[in-house]
């Protein structure tokens, strides 16, 4: 049984895609660690991209992630303002400082290969490093970016030692989670709190989760105050800043806290709150599309849903903020873990139901617990949210995480709030569909879904809007 921490589900990184940007970046860093003592022996390095990584890699910035990863840069801390400068330098000079220590000849146009007609059997998101050494030998390493920034090296089971962590309350399904909660009397977040102690102290977990929220909230604030056109060629205008300006036209503020107070002063009408939920979600995913710093939740393409719902809770409810943040993200993470274990959080495997659908289910459960719902109501909220995302395809226009991805985050956030409200006013004992059944259905739907609707830009909106990948 795979053990997944809250810090596995929520990862700090750089947009626009957890599977196509963050995953390949992390795979590149893993590759560097494996060849560390042989870096100065390299005569030539080539990178091959397969399947969905090849078909939408340019729009998702896969080549950019690989270039930055080969330098040894950390996606958690790398200065996003230096991305263009660093990448352009490599393309112009056709060389890079591998792992920050060894200069090699590297021409991205010639040495990163997008093999659009080839796919490896384990997962659609595959990349391979072919490294020729000066003594004539060859290093060949293959990695799979399996969604949400998770990476598996060819020949390994999960890509880490997560399965070796023994948890006091092992969970594979919603049924397991419900049973542990019933036996212990703990809430979902309470079970997560105990399990997290297998990785680190409770205080370390607390600080790490609060750091996750800090990145989320900073991303919302930055996105609400940045205008212009998103990169990539689609000429998509950023709208969050326009929402923000219209809603707060007469307010003056200079920081995040003052901004929140200005929002609260605007009232609590339904349309007003709905506008802000949409604004929060737009802000995050516009930042994501612009190679900003975001948190996988559980993916980059769905990074706006959970922050939007949590920001709604922090802004418009009057509970102490820190306990709400901890409870919400712990609960949400466990729901995300169940989907990852029993289905998928990869759009290349399951379409957008695996991203927006899962994030909406996570947010619905987190919101329900914070609003005083029972364990069964939390699970019911997650089920309702996913049930109404089943079959959602992933068809990014131009291979970019922009249309329809950005707006889908607003829809996922609103559905999460609706699902929570329905669950809070319902009796879970009378529900006809348990969460495990909808997880199973989602996975079966994913397997039946035509591959052209799984993050390939070969179907759906991607082929009905007159723009080509070359334009992006």
Q: What is the mean pLDDT of residues 143-151?
A: 96
Point out which residues pair with 14 in neighbouring strands.
293
352 DSSP assignment: G
Q: What's the pLDDT at 2?
A: 86
Two structure tokens written together for 324: 């709400």
Three-state DSSP class for residue 2: coil
Using the 8-state DSSP alphabet, how is residue 300 labeled? S
DSSP code for 433 = S
Residue 138: exposure state from Cβ atoms within 10 A (0-12, 13-18, ≥19): exposed
399-405 average pLDDT score: 95
Average pLDDT score over residue span 183-192: 98
* C-alpha dihedral (405, 406, 410, 413), degrees to nearest 10: 60
User: Per-residue pLDDT averaged across 181-204, rounded?
Assistant: 98
pLDDT tens for each residue of 329-387: 999 999 999 999 999 999 999 999 999 999 999 999 999 999 999 999 999 999 999 99
Q: What local confidence, expressed as pLDDT, does residue 445 receive? A: 98
Indicate the pLDDT class of residue 469, thresholds 50, 70 and 90.
very low
pTM: 0.94
What is the per-residue pLDDT across 271-297, written as a single tens digit (0 to 9) for each?
999 999 999 999 999 999 999 999 999
Pairing outcome for strands 12-14 and 95-98: unpaired
Average pLDDT, the chain: 95
pLDDT band at 470 (very low <50, low <70, confident <90, very high): very low
Continuous H helices in 47-161: 51-60, 62-70, 83-93, 108-111
Q: Kindly list the distances between the CA atom of residue 442 and the CA atoms of 379, 383, 435, in Å, as whole numbers in the listed order.
A: 16, 11, 11
Arithmetic mean of pLDDT, 76-84: 96
- Evaluate whether 22 touches 149 at the Cβ level (below 8 Å): yes
Residue 162: pLDDT band by 50, 70, 90 thresholds?
low
* Three-state secondary-structure class, residue 55: helix
Q: Which residues have CB under 8 Å from 129's CB, separation 6+?
A: 28, 31, 45, 46, 47, 139, 140, 141, 142, 143
Work out the pLDDT band at 157, boundaries 50, 70, 90: low
Rounded average pLDDT over 142-151: 96
User: Which CATH number applies to 18-159?
Assistant: 3.30.1330.90
Radius of gyration of the chain (CA): 22
What are the extents of the domains in the chain?
A: 18-159, 171-465
From residue 18, alpha-carbon distances to 302, 303, 443 in Å are 9, 9, 20
Q: Is the pLDDT of residue 159 over 60?
A: no
pLDDT computed for residue 163 by the predictor: 57
Q: Give the containing element (helix H, strand E) for 150.
A: strand 150-153
Share of the chain above pLDDT 90, in %: 93
How many angstroms separate the CA atoms of 205 and 357, rounded? 26
pLDDT of residue 472: 38
Tokens of 143: 């990695």
pLDDT in tens, 407-456: 999 999 999 999 999 999 999 999 999 999 999 999 999 999 999 999 99
* pLDDT score of 50 more than 50: yes
**Cα atoms in the 13 Å half-sphere on the side-chain side of 255:** 1
In the chain, the largest separation of any two C-alpha atoms, in whole Å, equals: 71
| pLDDT score, position 36 | 86
Of the ranges 157-161, 278-282, 403-407, 459-463, which one carries the lowest mean pLDDT score? 157-161
Q: What are phi and psi of 153, to 5 degrees?
A: -80, 140
pLDDT in tens, 9-49: 999 999 999 999 999 999 999 999 999 889 889 999 999 99
| Residue 159 CB neighbour total at 10 angstroms | 18
Residues in the chain, overall count: 472
Q: In the chain, what percentage of residues exceed pLDDT 70?
A: 97
Q: How far is CA 27 from CA 198, 240, 257, 400, in A?
A: 26, 33, 37, 21
Please give the average per-residue pLDDT across 456-470, as a whole number: 80
The answer, yes or no, to whether residue 179 has pLDDT greater than 50, is yes
Q: Indicate whether 230 pLDDT > 60.
A: yes
Return the structure tokens found at 190. Answer: 């309470």
Q: What is the mean pLDDT of residues 147-161?
A: 80
Phi, psi of 113 (to 5 degrees): -110, 125
The owner of tokens 């969050």 is 240
Q: What is the mean pLDDT of residues 241-252?
A: 95
Q: How far apart are CA 471 and CA 46, in angstroms?
A: 25
Q: How many helices (H) and strands (E) does the chain have?
A: 20, 9
Residues 103 and 43: their CA atoms lie apart, in Å, by: 10
């Amino acid at each position: 049984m795979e053990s997944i921490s809250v810090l596995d589900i929520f990862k700090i990184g750089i947009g626009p895609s957890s599977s196509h940007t963050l995953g390949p970046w992390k795979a590149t860093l893993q590759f560097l660690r494996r060849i560390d003592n042989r870096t100065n022996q390299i005569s030539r390095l080539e990178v091959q991209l397969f399947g969905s990584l090849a078909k939408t890699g340019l729009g998702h910035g896969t080549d950019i992630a690989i270039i930055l990863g080969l330098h040894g840069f950390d996606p958690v801390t790398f200065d996003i303002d230096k991305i263009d400068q660093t990448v352009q330098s490599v393309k112009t000079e056709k060389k890079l400082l591998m792992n920050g220590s060894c200069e090699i000849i590297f021409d991205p146009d010639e040495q990163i290969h997008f093999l659009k007609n080839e796919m490896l059997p384990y997962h659609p998101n595959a990349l391979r490093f072919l490294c020729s050494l000066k003594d004539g030998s060859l290093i060949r390493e293959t990695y799979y970016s399996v969604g949400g920034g998770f990476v598996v090296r060819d020949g390994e089971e999960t890509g880490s030692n997560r399965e070796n962590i023994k948890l006091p309350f092992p969970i594979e399904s919603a049924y397991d989670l419900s049973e542990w909660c019933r036996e212990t009397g703990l809430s979902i977040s309470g079970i997560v709190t105990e399990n997290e102690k297998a990785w680190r102290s409770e205080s370390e977990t607390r600080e790490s989760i609060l750091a996750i929220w800090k990145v989320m909230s900073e991303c919302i604030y930055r996105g609400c105050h940045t205008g212009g056109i998103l990169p990539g060629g689609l000429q998509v205008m950023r709208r969050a800043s326009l929402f923000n300006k219209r809603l707060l036209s007469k307010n003056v503020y200079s920081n995040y806290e003052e901004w929140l107070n200005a929002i609260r002063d605007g009232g609590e009408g339904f349309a007003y709150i709905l506008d802000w939920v949409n604004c929060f979600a737009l802000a995050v995913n516009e930042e994501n599309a612009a190679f900003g710093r975001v948190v996988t939740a559980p993916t980059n393409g769905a990074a706006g849903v959970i922050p939007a719902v949590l920001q709604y809770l922090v802004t418009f409810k009057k509970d102490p903020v820190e306990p709400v943040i901890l409870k919400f993200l712990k609960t949400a993470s466990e729901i995300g873990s169940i989907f990852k274990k029993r289905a998928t959080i990869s759009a290349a495997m399951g379409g957008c139901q695996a991203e927006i659908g899962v994030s909406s289910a996570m947010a619905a459960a987190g919101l329900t617990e914070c609003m005083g719902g029972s364990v069964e109501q939390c699970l019911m909220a997650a089920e309702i949210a996913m049930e109404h995302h089943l079959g959602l395809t992933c068809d990014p226009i131009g291979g970019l995480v922009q249309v329809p991805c950005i707006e889908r985050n607003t829809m996922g956030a609103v559905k999460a709030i609706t699902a929570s409200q329905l669950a809070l006013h319902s009796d879970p004992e009378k529900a006809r569909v348990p969460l495990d059944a909808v997880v199973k259905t989602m996975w079966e739907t994913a397997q039946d879904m035509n591959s052209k609707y799984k993050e390939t830009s070969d179907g759906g909106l991607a082929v009905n809007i007159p723009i080509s990948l070359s334009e992006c």
